[in-house]
Amino acid sequence: MNQDKKIALLIDAENISRNYRKTIMNELAKYGTTTYRRIYGDFTSRTISWTSEDMLKYSLTPIQQYSNTSHNNKNAGKNSSDITLVIDAMDILYSGNVEGFCIVSSDSDFTKLASRLREAGMLVIGMGEEKTPLAFRKSCEKFILLDVLNKSSDKKQQSDKKIDKKVDKKSEKTEKPKKTAKKVKEQAEEVIAENQNEKAEQIISDDIEEKSTDTPTLMPLESITQLIKTEILPELADEDGWASLADIGNWLYKLYSDFDSRNYGFSKLSALFKSCEDFEVKPQPQTDPNSNIVYYLIKEKTNV
């Protein structure tokens, strides 16, 4: 990743929730410096969640597009914002002031724009939810699933909270007096209520997943494993069967713009493949004694 790249950030506010604002900025910081930060939509509409505080905090320039067309056309205002975003993107491209674009939307309408920007030699990063059509994902050099990252982040926070609660409970046993029967009953009722809420949330989540049959899904890890064994390793491996894990990762990123080890629950690529029984992973010998970066080698296990 080139930290010196100048990148234009263009956000479709009518399609992306403000809940992802931190994730968007944190992820984009890995790829370069955002010289343009623009967000598009009809900000007089109550359907947009982004606030003026968000604009100020993240230095976002709002591009207001009023819905001044017939009420019969529900998408008229949205289309106006999309067209404005596309026009601005082309203006920025021809200005020659950036080396990359980040288009934040789950809308397939930006597929052609992403393809055109890549044809011009631009780095194109897409960000959206899992519902984003495959065509838009593939048109980007890198596509980041915001809701997947947020879910994994929430799970980690919940796990940390559970650990803290366990520690607190242990200290309570030694410090606090015994609870009264009334207090125990009240807490039991609270737990039952919480469990019922969790069950209700799970039922709703399952129902949404069943209805979203057209939503693109991540490539199964088994399929990726098979691809590496049959196609990638034969091309990259040395005489002993070892290949650079970084090279394997780059190959996968080029094939699948939405490939990310975090989508499978692992913070790093090395951790992902260490968990696979089909491969051996070992650190690559250091060539620079002053470097703290660890590179890995990967090989198919012969005894699997």
- Round to whole Å and give the CA distance between 278 and 221: 11
pLDDT in tens, 217-275: 778 888 898 899 988 999 899 998 999 999 998 888 888 888 888 888 888 899 999 99
Maximum Cα–Cα distance across the chain: 73
- Round to whole Å and give the CA distance between 178 and 183: 10
Question: Residue 300 in contact with residue 279, Cβ under 8 Å?
Answer: yes
Question: Residue 143 in contact with residue 255, Cβ under 8 Å?
Answer: no
Average pLDDT score over residue span 23-50: 92
Lowest mean pLDDT: which of 77-81, 183-187, 286-290? Answer: 183-187
What's the token pair of residue 154? 């929430």
Question: Residue 108 in contact with residue 135, Cβ under 8 Å?
Answer: yes
Report the share of the chain in percent with pLDDT over 70. Answer: 73
